[in-house]
Amino acid sequence: MSASLHAPAQAATGAATPTPLITLSGVTRVFGSGSAEFQALRGVDLNICEGEFVAVMGPSGSGKSSLMNILGCLDTPSAGSYRFRGLEVQKLGRDQRALLRRHALGFIFQGFNLLARTSAQENVELPLLYRGEMATDRATAARKALATVGLAGWEHHTPAELSGGQQQRVAIARALVTDPVLLLADEPTGNLDTARSQEIMELLVSLNRERGITIVMVTHEPDMAAYAHRIVHMVDGRVALDLPQLHSDERRQPGPSSARLAQA
């Protein structure tokens, strides 16, 4: 990933201004009404540029999940504006939002969400099946995605035959197979031990750096958030802090090789 994507714009030197991928302006989300009304988001303003890796942190009830649901087009704001590459997402219909999810977004979950009796390759093929891709094209793309996450040769193993780290890499391959612009990761290391967590984070860093995929990750773990370029702290439905991670690349430990990934 080019460092210029995250450098401040400098007109005197001709440096390019970072391109906004996501722009949230005054976004609120209200559930219920009357005495049962609950404001999950309270006027969130947030910009995320193409190629950034942003960690979202905060206590339970801070609005992290509501924010991710809106970013993932699974929900819409009660008020305010969500622009994705300039497109007013909250004005899209249900089917249009589904198309945006299908073609531009990838999702990684804490619980992996793999089909238990289905092979790794078939799990990865699922998003392409929903898009109506041909079987041969699905298989080729799934094998390529699995190789990207260090699982070449493991295509026909079911989740029960894979470790937790391997299952999460299958889930990442499934998110990557559609070539998404934005990857949304919800506690991607929450079910993994320390060693496997570090390997998954190194994989995400590599995807961000080498393929330029924008990543927004929710995490409760400061050690995992330290891999990101920025940390956004949510409190009571608002952005309380938005901090750049200085010299974050220098703090990252060397990542495992593909061979080590396959054995984890």
pLDDT number for residue 11: 36
**Average pLDDT over every residue of 97-109:** 92
Nearest-angstrom CA–CA distance, 4 and 171: 30
List of domains in the chain: 19-263 (3.40.50.300)
Taking only the tens place, the pLDDT of each residue in 141-193 is 999 999 999 999 999 999 999 999 999 999 999 999 999 999 999 999 888 88
Q: How many CB atoms lie within 10 A of CB 229?
A: 21
pLDDT number for residue 109: 87
Task: List the alpha helices (DSSP H) in the chain.
Answer: 64-71, 94-104, 120-130, 135-148, 164-176, 194-211, 222-225, 248-251, 258-263
Taking only the tens place, the pLDDT of each residue in 41-80 is 999 999 999 999 999 999 989 999 999 999 999 999 999 9
Q: How confident is the model at residue 264 (pLDDT cuts 50, 70, 90)?
A: very low
Q: How many CB atoms lie within 10 A of CB 16?
A: 11
Does position 263 have pLDDT exceeding 50, yes or no?
no
27 token code pair: 């976004």
Does position 129 have pLDDT exceeding 50, yes or no?
yes
Q: Are 54 and 48 in contact (CB under 8 A)?
A: yes
